[in-house]
């Protein structure tokens, strides 16, 4: 149980284009999902908290117009990197919380983004 | 803000040896989690701890929620090559649901 998937697993795009990453909870409903960014040899950095049916909450320093998050259903959250630039190249990982009473998060396999 | 210090940063051990790593927080946490991340993959949950003093095992892995609620350790017994990876501790101190992550411990096992 508590399986989270991400799609695509990797993407290469040209500078200036937008890229959408999907995060799905496969066997449970997730009212809250999280989006992280990870640079090589570093820990996970929380970008935003995605709540179903409401606006995402962004961490300080994360541009909400740059990283659009939509959590339209209890099993799907999407992250769109708009007008991507090479500095947006990174490993993006989503996670989902199973219950409101527990902080435990289950992570997706990640999406590697390379912007040329 | 809350900070987590995870140590050691890296370990290189012989197969069969036991391993111990720990995390300390500058403030009280109400949840401690331990994850393992393989290269190019997302973190996988190993053990979740919800009560101070709680000691939980998962196969060869054992983790404890410190009694002060400011620390946690993870032990791996009789290490094997597939234990190689990066181990992260994570904790939650409030009701936001957000996790704070340690810097990670890179484990290498020599066959």
pLDDT tens profile A46-66 = 999 998 888 899 999 999 999
pLDDT at A22: 97
Question: How far apart, in whole angstroms, are the C-alpha atoms of residue B19 and residue A102?
Answer: 28
Q: Which residues of B touch A49 (CB under 8 A)?
A: 96-98
Residue B23 token pair: 């995390």
pLDDT band, very low/low/confident/very high, at A1 (cuts 50, 70, 90)? low
Instruction: Check whether B94 has a pLDDT greater than 90.
Output: no
Closest Cα in chain A to B46: A106
CA B15 to chain centre: 19
Closest Cα in chain B to A51: B97
Closest Cα in chain A to B36: A107
For testing the chain A interface, which of B42, B45, B46 should be mutated: the one with the most A CBs within 10 Å? B42
pLDDT at A64: 93
CA distance A40 to chain B (A): 10
% of chain B exceeding 90 in pLDDT: 87
What is the pLDDT of chain A when averaged over all its residues? 93
Question: How far apart, in whole angstroms, are the C-alpha atoms of residue A87 and residue A113?
Answer: 10
Q: Which residues of B touch A43 (CB under 8 A)?
A: 88, 101-104
Question: How far apart, in whole angstroms, are the C-alpha atoms of residue A48 and residue A44?
Answer: 12
- Residue pair B62/B55 in contact by the 8 Å Cβ criterion: yes
pLDDT band, very low/low/confident/very high, at B2 (cuts 50, 70, 90)? low
Pairing type for strands B4-7 and A90-97 reads unpaired
Instruction: Check whether B1 has a pLDDT greater than 90.
Output: no
pLDDT at B64: 98
pLDDT band, very low/low/confident/very high, at B95 (cuts 50, 70, 90)? confident
- Check B42 against A103: CB less than 8 A apart: no
Instruction: Check whether A11 has a pLDDT greater than 80.
Output: yes
Mapped onto helix, strand or coil, the DSSP state of residue B81 is: helix
Tokens 């962004």 belong to residue: A58
3-state secondary structure A79-105: EEECCCCHHHCEEEEEEEECCCCCCCE
């Amino acid at each position: 149980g508590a399986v989270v998937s991400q799609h695509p697993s990797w993407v290469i795009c040209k500078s200036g284009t937008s890229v959408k990453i999907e995060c799905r909870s496969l066997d449970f409903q997730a009212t809250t999902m999280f989006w992280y960014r990870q640079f090589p040899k570093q820990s996970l950095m929380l970008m935003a908290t995605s709540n179903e049916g409401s606006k995402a909450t962004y961490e300080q320093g994360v541009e909400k117009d740059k990283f659009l998050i939509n959590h339209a259903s209890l099993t799907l959250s999407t992250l769109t990197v708009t007008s991507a630039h090479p500095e947006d190249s990174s490993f993006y990982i989503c996670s989902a919380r199973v219950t409101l009473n527990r902080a435990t998060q289950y992570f997706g396999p990640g999406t590697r983004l390379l912007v040329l | 803000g809350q900070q987590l210090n995870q140590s050691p940063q890296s370990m290189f051990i012989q197969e069969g040896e036991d391993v111990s790593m720990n995390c300390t927080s500058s403030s009280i946490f109400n949840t401690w989690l331990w994850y393992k991340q393989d290269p190019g993959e997302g973190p996988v949950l190993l053990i979740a701890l919800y009560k101070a003093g709680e000691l939980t095992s998962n196969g060869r892995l054992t983790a404890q929620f410190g009694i002060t609620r400011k620390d946690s350790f993870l032990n791996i017994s009789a290490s094997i090559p597939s234990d190689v990876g990066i181990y992260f501790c994570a904790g939650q101190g409030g009701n936001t649901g957000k996790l704070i992550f340690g810097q990670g411990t890179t484990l290498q096992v020599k066959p």
